[in-house]
């Protein structure tokens, strides 16, 4: 059964010289990996910093709470 993690997308601004775009990444992909791929230029985006992990963990916790309250 799909959950919010399958549908929720978070904005990922990144300094990729090839495109400079802000892409949206699925929360499930961000939780599962320290790197994601830009949807515009296909360059890898590192989301392993403490700040990124804290942001991703906070978003994941929020959606876990919402799923429990449903």
Counting the structural domains of the chain, the total is 1
C-alpha–C-alpha distance, residues 32 and 48, integer Å: 11
Supply the pLDDT for residue 13: 72
Q: How confident is the chain (70 residues) per 10-residue block, as mean pLDDT?
A: 79 74 90 91 90 94 77
C-alpha–C-alpha distance, residues 66 and 52, integer Å: 21
Supply the pLDDT for residue 57: 95
Give one word for 14, left, alpha or beta, with left for phi > 0 and alpha for psi -120 to 50: beta
Q: Which residue bears the tokens 């990729």?
A: 16
Domain that holds residue 11: 4-69
Supply the pLDDT for residue 68: 67
With CA atoms as reference, report the closest residue to 8 among 50, 58, 52: 58
Supply the pLDDT for residue 17: 62
Cα angle, residue 34 at apex, residues 8 and 56 outer, rounded to 5°: 40
């Amino acid at each position: 059964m799909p959950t919010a993690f399958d549908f929720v997308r978070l904005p990922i601004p990144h300094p990729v010289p090839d495109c400079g775009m802000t892409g949206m990444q699925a929360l499930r992909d961000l939780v599962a990996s320290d790197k994601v791929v830009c949807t515009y230029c296909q360059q890898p985006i590192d989301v392993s910093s403490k700040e990124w992990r804290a942001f991703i963990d906070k978003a994941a916790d929020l959606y876990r709470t919402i799923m429990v309250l449903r």
